[in-house]
Structure formats: C-alpha cells, structure tokens
Amino acid sequence: MDALQGFVGTWRLVESDKFDEYMKALDVGFATRKIGNVTKPDLVVCIDDDYITLQSLSAFKNTSIKFKLEEEFEETTVDGRNSKTTMTLNNGKLVQVQRWNGKETTVERELKDGKLIATCTMGDVVCTRTYEKKE
C-alpha cells in the first residue's frame, strides 16, 4: 500500500483528451456523453487498511468504489454499466480493468510531474485525463 500513498488525496480534472471518442467506444448514449464532456469531476483517493476507495464527485453524479487490490468486485459505472472489475498495482500504476457483456476497458492511473494521469483504453481508442491535486 505504500506505493499508493502518492495517490491519496483529492484531484481535480483539468484536461481531457479524446473522452468523447472513449465514451462512444463504450456505447455511452448521446445525452450522457454531452454531460460527461463538460463535467469536471474531482477524484478522491483514500486508503483504509487493505481497502482503497475511489470517489468521483461532480455536479452531475457521484460514484464510489471500495476494493482490495487483485480481488474482482462488482462495479456500476457512472454511465450505468455493470462490470466485473479488478484493480492491480503494476509498475507504480493503479490499473483498473472492467469486463462486461464480453467487452473490456482499462483505466491506468499514474503519477507524473505531480499530476495524476488516467489513460483510458477501449479497443483502439485511447483517452487521457489529467488531474491536479487540490490544496
């Protein structure tokens, strides 16, 4: 868990590249994509013993997942997908793999230059979302 300590805190989304394309690849509906493209959520990362909590907080919708590394769990995503999700720590990256209806997407979160970078991959679509730590 020590490797995750740098992730702990509240992060504000400051930049998003190819998020609409990523949501389309996930089959997110038009109205939800429109809202998703203008929403700037905060990401809150907490660690409590063996559990990690990730919260996405926005004016649109709040979500929260609590998990142990390398243990599959049920997740209802912000866009309403029900997935089997596994979180791992790989070379300093917090890697989230969601599986549903024979599909799979990956979100890799890593710390670079004091920022949290989330790289979202669905097929050949790659989206990057950059967060800065809130004071």
What pLDDT shows up at residue 132? 98
Residues ≥6 apart with Cβ < 8 Å to 39: 58, 59, 60
Q: Which CATH number do you get for residue 127?
A: 2.40.128.20
- Tell me how many domains the chain contains: 1
| Domain residue limits at 12 | 2-133
Task: Report CA-CA distances (Å) from 81 to 76, 90, 131.
Answer: 6, 25, 24
Single pTM value for the model:
0.94
Euclidean distance between CA atoms 98 and 115, whole angstroms = 24
Quick: pLDDT tens for 22-67: 999 999 999 999 999 999 999 999 999 899 999 999 988 899 999 9
What pLDDT shows up at residue 1? 66
Euclidean distance between CA atoms 109 and 4, whole angstroms = 11
Q: What would the two tokens of residue 51 be? A: 């559990």
